[in-house]
Amino acid sequence: MKRKFLKKPKSIKSENHTKNRFKNINKNGLINNELIKTFKIKGGLFKRLVLTFTILSLITLSISALLTYQVTKQKVSTDFENSTMQILNQNKNYIDVVDASLEELSMQVLSNKDISNSFNTITGDQYTKWQLVQKVQDSLNNLTSNSKFIKSMYILRDNGLSVSSGGNVDVSNSDTNAVKYSAFKTSEDYTNIIKSDGKSQWTNVQVDTFNTSPDNKNISLMRRLISTSSSESAPILKINVDPQVFSSSIKDAKIGKNGYMFIVDQKGQIIAHKDPTFLGKKVDSTIWSKIKSLKEGSFEYKQAGKNMYGVESSYDTRGWKIIAVVPKAELASTANSVGALSIPIIILCLIFTAILSVFTTRKITEPIYDIIKVAEKVSNGDFTVKTNKYAIHEINELSLNFNNMIKKLKEMLSLTAGLTKETTDSAAKILNLSNTISDSSKEVVIAVEEITSGSSKQTEETIGCSKISDDFNNEITSSIFSLGNVTNATKASIDIINEGTNIINNLSKTSENNSNAMTKVASTVETLNDNTKSILTILNKINDITKQTNLLALNASIEAARAGDAGKGFSVVANEIRKLADKSQSASSEIGTIVDQVNQSIGASLEISENAKKLFKEELVQVSSTITSFGKIKESISNISSAMEVSMNSINVIDESKNLLNDSINSIASISEANTAATEEVTATIQTQAESNTLMNSLAEGLNDKANELIKLINKFRF
């Protein structure tokens, strides 16, 4: 039986298939319908990868933009705080210069001997007092003119000796000024300076009641000149400074677009501001609550519904606070600009990512679709296909391993097909041999039946001879006639014995041939048994490969699971491969079952062959015994024939020989009975052999049918 192998088709051309599958731009520039269908596949790898890349890019870009916005916002706030703090510190240095300069000036007044002596001289006429006042006033004028910060200076005293310098100022003891001085003594500033124990203090910005000029708002440094007289009557030095001395330094400071600076004293009163109308007023309570206990740093508050951001630095010498504020929206403007710019960038990046993900995903899914198509053909029994090489290393490794699997399965199927062909040929030979043995057995049965018939006739003749011997004494007269009949019967017996001998010899040769043929059958069946064992070994290897493939697929599923959503596509491929491996294992199991059935049939054939060999050996022994018996019968008949001749010649000695004749006839009867029994045994043995031959013929037909079914099963595969 010649196996027809199918011609191998050309392998799938992945590149052409890819171009046909993923040609996504048609003549009108529209997306190819096949690409859209691929994207619409529920749970498809292409759709999942594109969406995963796009969503991941969207999340990454959004987080990046949000972090950039927050970092920029925080950075702007930090930079604003640092730069503003530098401006505040510069203004603090300026304030320190002014404060130190005026403090030093007050100490000069305190240490001036002319001034001290003048205030210590209380007695004298008015002229003397006037001279002293003029002298002190000249000293104050000199000090005032030498300082660019001082607007005017007062020395106020209860004993009527008050002195002023600069501007339209008169602190003499006129009635009007006496009233002003009395009002001054009731002020909070006066109370504080009395309690200061000679230390200098700054007043709030206020109207100078002693100054008659229209612009008479001052901020003053005051101290008691305790060293000039007793502490109870010590005069008060009041150095008046234009508030713009402090405001000018902060007025032009650039704090954002709408920001500004101001200075408050330890009581929360504004002593410097770019808007003069705020001078001397109490700072807003929301601001004061934030900065009252704050030494240095930033703070936030609301002003007229707007969120404001402020930076504060303290001038510790006087307890003043230098403050810069700006609308918080200005700080966030840069971050808002960055955020606004991030939106179109994110959109462009998403478009680019979507295009790139489609391109990249196609590079991944195209080989997978190719492998799926090849796997479909393999699942349909076509082992002539193979996959191509791919640029992606992992998929290329999968392709190589898949091709190796197909190659090994193809080799195993080819080997199985060859073994199946040999099994079929052997089964056909066994069937032919069984048919031959069956035909020979039928011929042997016919021959044995003839032998049985001859033995029966021989027994009947022997019985007749016995009766003749019994009647021999009474019928001696008819002995010649009887002897003639006996001679004829003897000749007939010799002919029958010769014929039986020839048949038995032929039976012996046939039995020997049957024994040799059965030995060959047993050898052929043993060879067939070895071949089926080889088939089982190959099937075990196929099962091992399928188990290993299952293990590899399981490992791929585990790695896919670890990869998460990005690895789900690989998990689907691994499941498909595992299904193919299960199908291969199932087919191998079916083949193994068939081979096991063949092995069982072969085992039964071997057992039958062994039994047949034993029966043929026994048959040869019985045939040999029969041949020996026939030889003895022939020899006895020959003796009878010789005796008949002697009887014919010596009828007179018949009486003497009758006893011998009687004994010979009895021996012939015994031999005939033994020959009949042996013939019956041979007949039974041959019938058993015929039944065994029939069973072996049935088994051979079954083996041949199974082999043909196996060939049909293998013919379903293309390799």
Say what the pLDDT of residue 649 is. Answer: 63
Range ranked top by mean pLDDT from 85-94, 167-176, 390-399, 427-436: 85-94
Q: Are residues 374 and 469 in the same domain?
A: no
Across the range 577-591, mean pLDDT stands at 70
* Shared-domain flag, residues 502 and 363: no
The 3-state DSSP composition of the chain as helix, strand, coil percent (nearest 5) reads: 75, 10, 20
56 lies in some domain: yes
Distance, in Å, from the CA atom of 207 to the CA atom of 219, rounded to the nearest integer, reads 9
pLDDT one-digit tens code per residue, 461-480: 666 666 665 665 555 555 55
Stretch 40-53: mean pLDDT = 70
Tell me which of 76 and 270 has the higher pLDDT. Answer: 270
Q: Starting at the earlier edge strand, list the strands of the sheet with 260-264.
A: 270-273, 260-264, 320-327, 306-315, 296-303
Q: What is the pLDDT of residue 335?
A: 66
Task: Indicate if 559 and 625 belong to the same structural domain.
Answer: yes
pLDDT average, residue stretch 611-633: 74
Contact 540, 554 (CB under 8 A): no
**Total number of domains in the chain:** 2
CATH number at residue 521: 1.10.287.950
- Answer whether residue 583 is part of any domain: yes
Question: Alpha-carbon distance 371 to 216, whole Å?
Answer: 98
Question: Mean pLDDT over residues 179-199, rounded?
Answer: 80
Single out the residue in 379, 399, 425 at which a domain terminates. 379
Angle (CA) 488 493 496, round 5°: 130
Residue 537: which pLDDT band, with cuts at 50, 70 and 90?
A: confident
Residue pLDDT, tens place only, 432-456: 877 777 777 677 777 767 776 766 6
Q: Are residues 357 and 446 in the same domain?
A: no
User: With bands split at pLDDT 50, 70 and 90, how would you rate the model's confidence at 330?
Assistant: confident
Q: Give pLDDT tens digits for 362-387.
A: 777 778 778 888 888 887 877 778 88
Identify whether residues 571 and 648 lie together within a single domain: yes
Flag whether 246 is in a domain: no
Share of the chain above pLDDT 70, in %: 67
Q: pLDDT exceeding 90 applies to what percent of the chain?
A: 1
For residue 49, the enclosing domain spans 16-74+344-379
519: confidence class by pLDDT, cuts 50, 70, 90: confident
pLDDT at 40 > cutoff 70? no
pLDDT of residue 263: 92
Please tell me which residue, 310 or 234, carries the higher pLDDT value: 310
608 & 495 share domain: yes
Residue with tokens 């002014």: 98
Q: What does the pLDDT average to over 417-433?
A: 77
- How high does pLDDT run on average in the chain? 73
Q: Is residue 419 in some structural domain?
A: yes
Residue of 685 and 652 predicted with greater confidence = 685
Looking at the fold, whether 361 and 489 belong to one and the same domain comes out as: no
In this prediction, residue 341 carries a pLDDT of 76
1-15 average pLDDT score: 39
Name, of 68-72, 221-225, 597-601, the range with top average pLDDT: 221-225
Is 309's pLDDT higher than 80?
yes
Picking from 336, 364, 379, the residue at the C-terminal end of a domain is: 379
- Say what the pLDDT of residue 120 is: 63
- Whether residues 563 and 688 fall in one domain: yes
- Which of 363, 379, 395 is a domain's end point? 379
CB distance 700 to 427 below 8 Å: yes
Mean pLDDT to the nearest integer, 393-410: 82
Residue 23 pLDDT: 42
Same domain, 451 and 374: no
Q: Please tell me the predicted confidence (pLDDT) of residue 264.
A: 92
Q: Stretch 541-552: mean pLDDT, rounded?
A: 73
pLDDT at residue 354, as a whole number: 77
* pLDDT over 70 at 228, yes or no: no
Instruction: Find, among 313, 330, 333, the residue nearest to 82 by Cα.
Output: 313
188 Cβ contact list (under 8 Å, min separation 6): none
pLDDT, average across residues 45-67: 77
The residue type found at 59 is I
User: Using 50, 70 and 90 to split pLDDT, how confident is the model at 304?
Assistant: confident
| CB 313, CB 88: distance < 8 Å | yes
pLDDT at residue 112 is higher than 70? yes
Specify the DSSP class assigned to residue 651: G
**628 and 682 together in one domain:** yes
Q: Which of 162, 136, 140 is nearest to 152 (CA)?
A: 140
User: Phi-psi category of 409—alpha, beta or left, where left has phi over 0 and alpha has psi -120 to 50?
Assistant: alpha
- Determine the Cα–Cα distance for residues 297 and 84; give it in Å rounded to an integer: 10
Strands (E), 336-412: none
Does any domain span residue 700?
yes
Most confident among 8-17, 252-261, 589-598 (mean pLDDT): 252-261
Quick one: pLDDT at residue 611? Answer: 74
Q: Is residue 202 part of a domain?
A: no
Q: Binning pLDDT at 50, 70 and 90, where does residue 701 land?
A: confident
Q: Is residue 219 part of a domain?
A: no
631 and 688 part of one domain: yes
The answer on 493 and 617 residing in a single domain is yes
Which residue in 233, 155, 220, 153 sits closest to 189, CA to CA? 220
Higher pLDDT, 513 or 286: 286
Q: List strand residue ranges (DSSP E) for 374-507, in order.
A: none
Assess if residue 577 is contained within a domain. yes
Q: What's residue 468's pLDDT? A: 63
In this prediction, residues 8-21 reach a mean pLDDT of: 41
pLDDT 10s digits, 232-267? 567 888 888 888 888 888 887 788 788 889 999 988
Predicted local distance difference test score (pLDDT) of residue 483: 58
The pLDDT, as a whole number, for residue 660 is 66
Q: How confident is the model at residue 122 (pLDDT cuts 50, 70, 90)?
A: low
Say if residue 561's pLDDT is above 70. Answer: yes
CA distance 579 to 573: 10
pLDDT tier for residue 486 given thresholds of 50, 70 and 90: low
